[in-house]
Amino acid sequence: MRLLGVLMAAALLLSPGAALAQAKPKIGVTLHPYYSFVSHVVGDRAEVVPLIKVGFNVHNYEPQPDDLKRVMDFDALVTNGVGHDAFAAKIVQAAGMDGKLPIIYANDGVALIATAGYEGERKVPNSHTFVSITASIQQLYAIAEGLGKLHPDNAAYYRQNARAFATKLRQLKARYAQRIAGGGDMRIKVATIHGGYDYLLQEFGLEVTAVIEPAHGLSPSASQLRDTINKIKSADVNVIFSEIEFPDQVIDTIRNETGIRVYSFVHISDGPYTKEKFEEAIEYNMKQLTDAVLDVRGQKP
Amino acid sequence: MHSQLVRPAGARREGLYLLGVCGVILLAWAAMVAQRHVVPVKTELAPWQITAFGNLNPAEQGLFGDLWATAVEIDALHKDNAGVWPSVEDLSDLAMPPFPQDAMWEGRGRHVWTANRAEYAGGHAVVYLGRTASTKDARTFALVLAHRHPPVPPSKETRDPPREKAEGAAAGPADAFFTVWIHPTGDTPFPPIAKLGDLAQAGWKEIVPVRGADAPKGDKK
Per residue in A183-222, pLDDT (tens digit) is 766 678 898 887 889 999 999 989 888 777 655 556 677 8
d(CA B120, CA B107): 36
The answer to whether the Cα torsion of B116, B118, B124, B125 is positive or negative is: negative
Q: A148 with A79, same domain?
A: yes
Residue of B nearest to A208 (CA): B58
From A175, A192, A215, the end of a domain falls on: A175
Query: Are A109 and B66 in contact (CB < 8 Å)?
Result: no
Is there a domain that residue A45 lies in?
yes
For B76, which of A109, A135, A163 is closest by C-beta distance?
A163
Q: A166 with A198, same domain?
A: no
d(CA B97, CA B91): 8
Contacts of B107 (CB under 8 A, 6+ apart): A185, A186, A187, A205, B59, B137
Is there a domain that residue A6 lies in?
no
Q: A148 with A189, same domain?
A: no
Q: A243 with A159, same domain?
A: no
CATH number at residue A170: 3.40.50.1980
Following DSSP, what letter does each residue of A132-144 receive, concatenated?
A: SSHHHHHHHHHHH
- Which one is predicted more confidently, A261 or A224? A261
Task: Please say whether the beta carbons of A246 and A254 come within 8 A.
Answer: no
Partners of residue A156 on adjacent β-strands = none
Is there a domain that residue A248 lies in?
yes
Other CB atoms closer than 10 Å to residue B135's CB: what's the count?
13
Partners of A123 on chain B (C-beta within 8 Å) are: 40-41, 53-54
Query: What mean pLDDT comes out for the span A88-98?
Result: 92
Query: What mean pLDDT comes out for the span B205-220?
Result: 78
Q: A149 with A171, same domain?
A: yes
Partners of B53 on chain A (C-beta within 8 Å) are: 113-114, 123
Asked, as a colleague might, if the bond just before B151 is cis with ω within 30 of 0, I would say yes
Test mutation, B102, B136, B141, chain A, max A CBs within 10 A = B102
Partners of A205 on chain B (C-beta within 8 Å) are: 59, 62, 103-104, 107-108
Per residue in B145-162, pLDDT (tens digit) is 988 765 334 343 333 433
**Predicted confidence band of residue B163 (pLDDT cuts 50, 70, 90):** very low
Residue of A nearest to B168 (CA): A109
For B72, which of A113, A138, A180 is closest by C-beta distance?
A138
Query: Is A177's pLDDT higher than 90?
Result: yes
Q: A165 with A187, same domain?
A: no
Query: Is A179's pLDDT higher than 60?
Result: yes
For the question of an ipTM over 0.85, the answer is no
Strand order in the sheet with B140-148: B49-51, B205-208, B176-183, B140-148, B123-131, B112-120
Query: Are B215 and A122 in contact (CB < 8 Å)?
Result: no
Query: Are B61 and A106 in contact (CB < 8 Å)?
Result: no
From A125, A152, A175, the end of a domain falls on: A175
- Which one is predicted more confidently, B186 or A250? B186
The pLDDT value given to residue A194: 79
Task: Please say whether the beta carbons of A268 and A282 come within 8 A.
Answer: yes
Partners of B54 on chain A (C-beta within 8 Å) are: 123
Q: What is the DSSP letter of B35?
A: H
- For A157-187, b where at least 16 C-beta lie within 10 A, e where not — what string? bbbebbbebbeebbebbbebbebbeeebebe
Q: How many domains does chain A have?
A: 2
Q: Which of A119-123, B102-106, B198-202 has the lowest mean pLDDT?
A: A119-123
Average pLDDT score over chain A: 85
Query: Is B193's pLDDT higher than 70?
Result: no
Partners of A112 on chain B (C-beta within 8 Å) are: 209-212, 214-215
**Predicted confidence band of residue A293 (pLDDT cuts 50, 70, 90):** very high
Domain limits at A262? 183-296
From A175, A201, A231, the end of a domain falls on: A175
Q: A78 with A105, same domain?
A: yes
C-alpha distances (whole Å) from A144 to each of A38, A247, B16 are 8, 38, 60
Query: What mean pLDDT comes out for the span A294-301?
Result: 84
Query: What mean pLDDT comes out for the span A128-135?
Result: 95
C-alpha distances (whole Å) from B57 to each of A31, B64, B81, B135 are 31, 10, 35, 11
